[in-house]
Amino acid sequence: MVKPDGVQRGLVGEVINRIEKRGLKIVALRMNIISRESALKHYAEHSQKPFFKSLVDFITSAPSVSMVVEGKNAVAVMRAINGATNPANAATGSIRGDFALDTGRNIVHASDSPESAKREIEIHFKESEIAGYSRIDETWVYET
Ligand code: IDP
Ligand code: MG
């Protein structure tokens, strides 16, 4: 997900570019203002944290771009593309390491396990909004 700060800072294309060029496949994509109900579910694991209210307020404050991304080791690779949660610790070359300074304005979200990916996808997308397709470069990305 490109969070509202990423959208406002004109970084949607930059994020998508990095995902596509890595060889991962975007199979669903939407811009919208996330509902409070969805945001509360999405960040439920953080409901007892002191930053929870400001996080939910922020994520619902303006449009964000949600995506479903597939590919080999997609969860681990997406988290590496994004970089560490606190941008001060994020490697240069990652999105947060290149474009962010503050944990509360860290531009992107990615699921932290296949199980959380499944849970989060169900919050944000209907089955019919997810496209199954082959990318023409797949044999050049994956050894078969
Ligand atoms: P992640 O986005 O790298 O998975 P999580 O620990 O799951 O990081 O936290 C979710 C989001 O909550 C972070 O991306 C960040 O925007 C926000 N957050 C996490 N920790 C803090 C904090 O200590 N202060 C303010 N916001 C935080
Ligand atoms: Mg997380």
- The answer to whether the beta carbons of residues 28 and 127 sit under 8 Å apart is no
Overall average pLDDT of the 62-66 stretch: 98
SS3 51: coil
- In 10 A of CB 15, how many CB atoms? 22
Instruction: Name all domains of the chain by residue range, CATH numbers in brackets.
Output: 4-32+65-132 (3.30.70.141)
pLDDT in tens, 96-137: 999 999 999 999 999 999 999 999 999 999 999 999 999 999
Q: Whose CA is nearest to atom 6 of ligand 1?
A: 85
> If you take atom 16 of ligand 1, which residue's CA is the nearest one?
104
Percent of the chain at pLDDT above 90?
Answer: 99
- The per-residue pLDDT for 144 is 81
**Of the candidates 50, 93, 100, the residue with the CA atom closest to the CA atom of residue 109:** 100
Q: How far apart are CA 111 and CA 94, in angstroms?
A: 16
Q: What pLDDT, in 10s, does the model give residues 5-19?
A: 999 999 999 999 999
Looking at residue 61, the DSSP 8-state letter turns out to be: S
Write out the two tokens for 66.
């949600």
* pTM of the full structure: 0.97
